[in-house]
């Protein structure tokens, strides 16, 4: 894929600015990445030190284009000019024209619809910019808040994947899997 296409444009929604993650986001990112309540259903280890966050930005997010992944979006809350979370393609296969969205949000901002607002834009980019035919989302079966986001986005429930993911600590979790395909997306517009 053309590397220039993987460089994500800045997008403005009603309440958010979505722009690629940068090193300047480290303090705001550490605020939620160090919160065990935020990270308990995620695949990565809770950040213990700010250096964990700097490492993630420099060695994961800054290298996404080199690894043929679109840049990850930082979610900036306009009213506070603060990075409150992220939304990105955690899986991206140009040949299969399939992507999977992942997201995380600072707990202080849960329940306000910010993640639905951000994901709608990432879904649009997936279908319009990358010409995907399928976008999926999975979540730990016990993560009911994530399930609500997915339902509000209009994804179709596809089933359960038992022991579908081994987390950083070696524990396996059962996943619920959802997808939206290009024709469903176009019919919703």
Tokens of 188: 């919703």
DSSP conformation class of 181: E
Pick the CATH number of 3-188 from 3.40.630.30, 3.90.650.10, 1.25.40.10, 3.40.50.2000: 3.40.630.30
- The structural domains of the chain, with segments of one domain joined by +, span 3-188
Q: State the pLDDT at residue 186.
A: 87
- Tell how strand 11-12 and strand 156-166 pair up: unpaired
Q: What is the pLDDT along the chain (189 residues), one digit of tens a residue?
A: 788 999 999 999 999 999 999 999 999 999 999 999 999 988 889 999 999 999 999 999 999 999 999 999 999 999 999 999 999 999 988 888 999 999 999 999 999 999 999 999 999 999 999 999 999 999 999 999 999 999 999 999 999 999 988 888 888 999 999 999 999 998 876
Q: State the pLDDT at residue 61.
A: 96
Burial profile 57-89: b = 16 or more Cβ within 10 angstroms, e = fewer: beeebbebbeeebbbbbbbbbeeeebbbbbbbb
DSSP conformation class of 152: H
- Reduced to 3 states (helix: H, G, I; strand: E, B; else coil), residue 14 is coil
Q: State the pLDDT at residue 189.
A: 66
pTM value > 0.75: yes
Cβ-proximal residues to 74 (8 Å cutoff; 6+ apart), any chain: 18, 19, 20, 21, 22, 25, 29, 83, 85, 86
- Reduced to 3 states (helix: H, G, I; strand: E, B; else coil), residue 135 is strand
Cα 46 to chain center, whole Å? 16
State pLDDT tens for residues 118-161: 999 999 999 999 999 999 999 999 999 999 999 999 999 999 99
């Amino acid at each position: 894929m053309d590397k220039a296409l993987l460089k994500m444009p800045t997008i403005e929604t009603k309440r958010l600015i979505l722009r690629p993650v940068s090193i300047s986001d480290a303090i705001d990112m550490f605020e939620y990445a160090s919160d065990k309540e935020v990270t308990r259903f995620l695949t990565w280890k809770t950040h213990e030190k700010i250096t964990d966050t700097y490492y993630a930005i420099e060695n994961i997010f800054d290298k996404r284009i080199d690894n043929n992944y679109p840049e990850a979006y930082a979610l900036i809350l306009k009213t506070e000019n603060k990075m409150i979370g992220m939304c990105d393609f955690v899986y991206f296969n140009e040949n299969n024209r399939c992507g999977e969205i992942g997201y995380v949000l600072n707990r202080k901002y849960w329940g306000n619809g910010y993640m639905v607002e951000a994901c709608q834009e990432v879904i649009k980019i997936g279908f319009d910019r990358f010409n995907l035919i399928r976008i999926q989302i999975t979540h730990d079966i016990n993560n009911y808040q994530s399930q609500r986001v997915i339902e509000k986005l209009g994804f179709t429930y596809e089933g359960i994947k038992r022991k579908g993911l081994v987390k950083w600590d070696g524990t396996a979790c059962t996943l619920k899997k959802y997808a939206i395909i290009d024709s469903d997306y176009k019919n919703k517009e």
